[in-house]
Amino acid sequence: MELRVIEKTDEELRMEIAGEDHTFMNVLKGALLETPGVTAATYDMNPEQSGGQTEPILSIKTEDGTDPLDAVGDASRRVQGLADDFVAAFDAAA
């Protein structure tokens, strides 16, 4: 996975997340939408509508005082925690 910040302001972020597909992007978007201070989160990976781009572009908007990169970090840690919980539950059930 490679990350590239395309555009960042105090309350908006556009970031390319190379090597990922809808599966990961939907999970990350969902976690972002549950993150305090995030007002919008979406991604685009449709090359016809994006001028030939094939890697997903994550776009988020935050409230004043919430850094969008911090919000991505918080959401990513929450996704990791959920994955860890799932693996532990799976191992216990097996």
Q: Average pLDDT in the 39-67 region?
A: 86
Computed over every residue of the chain, the mean pLDDT equals 92
> What residues contact residue 71 under an 8 Å CB cut-off, 6+ apart?
32, 35, 37, 38, 60, 62
Please tell me the distance from the alpha carbon of residue 79 to that of residue 73, in angstroms, as a whole number.
10
What local confidence, expressed as pLDDT, does residue 7 receive?
A: 96
Kindly state the helix (H) or strand (E) to which residue 42 belongs, with its residue range.
strand 38-44
Residue 49 has a CB neighbour count (10 Å cut-off) of: 8
pLDDT digits (tens, 9 = 90+) for 18-43: 999 999 999 999 999 999 999 999 99
pTM: 0.86
